[in-house]
A and B are shown apart, each in its own frame.
Chain A
Amino acid sequence: AQSVTQPDIHITVSEGASLELRCNYSYGATPYLFWYVQSPGQGLQLLLKYFSGDTLVQGIKGFEAEFKRSQSSFNLRKPSVHWSDAAEYFCAVGASSGNTPLVFGKGTRLSVIA
């Protein structure tokens, strides 16, 4: 069965520090992987996606993620965090066919301190 694990429920970083949010997935076929961000009381905004090709993908707001098939991981990174990055981050996996709904992790809440 498909599943996504985000091991860190809550992470606090200082503004300007680097960030890495972890995501591990279990999927029986070639996965499509996504990171979404959700601000309080809002819907989800797509940050970036991986389908194939280069395993390092760039997204919006200065985020990037690296797909590592051997580790079943798709970790999200940002070199320098801004206070406005404080939000909930969700990793999700879907079928390459696009014929299945997305399976989400439980999310990682990011707090940014001065």
Chain B
Amino acid sequence: DTGVSQDPRHKITKRGQNVTFRCDPISEHNRLYWYRQTLGQGPEFLTYFQNEAQLEKSRLLSDRFSAERPKGSFSTLEIQRTEQGDSAMYLCASRRAGTGGNEQYFGPGTRLTVT
């Protein structure tokens, strides 16, 4: 399967712990996006990369959140000192910039539960 993959699919952690999620985009896609989706809501943008450069960050991305894409391939999203409000589905999407349109292809998501 050559789609977007995310790991882990589920994560349960205690408040105050750090967590890290990984996203592997479709191989020829140079744009990578992170979204957060809470219950009953649509996905909300967090940040995105073009290759290894982080081009935009939402104000939703507090100082406890950091994202990297060191080699322009996979990306990681780290949440430090997790809070119960961080419980959500974290979605990764990718696309190839320069192609027509703006459709993004989503991974299955990582569901985070903070207890």
Contacts and interface: CB of A to CB of B under 8 A. Distances in A.
A32 B40 contact: no
Interface stretch (A13-21, A39-47, A67-75): A39-47
B48 interface: yes
A28 interface: no
Interface string B33-61: 10100001111110010000000100000
Sorting the interface of chain A by its residue count into under 10, 10 to 19, 20 to 34 or 35 or more gives 20 to 34
Nearest to B111: A41
Nearest to A48: B103
Nearest to A45: B106
A42 B108 CA distance: 5
B49 to A, nearest CB: 11
Contact of B108 (A43, A49, A94, A100): A43
Interface of A: 4, 32, 34, 36, 41-46, 49, 51, 90, 92, 94-98, 100-107
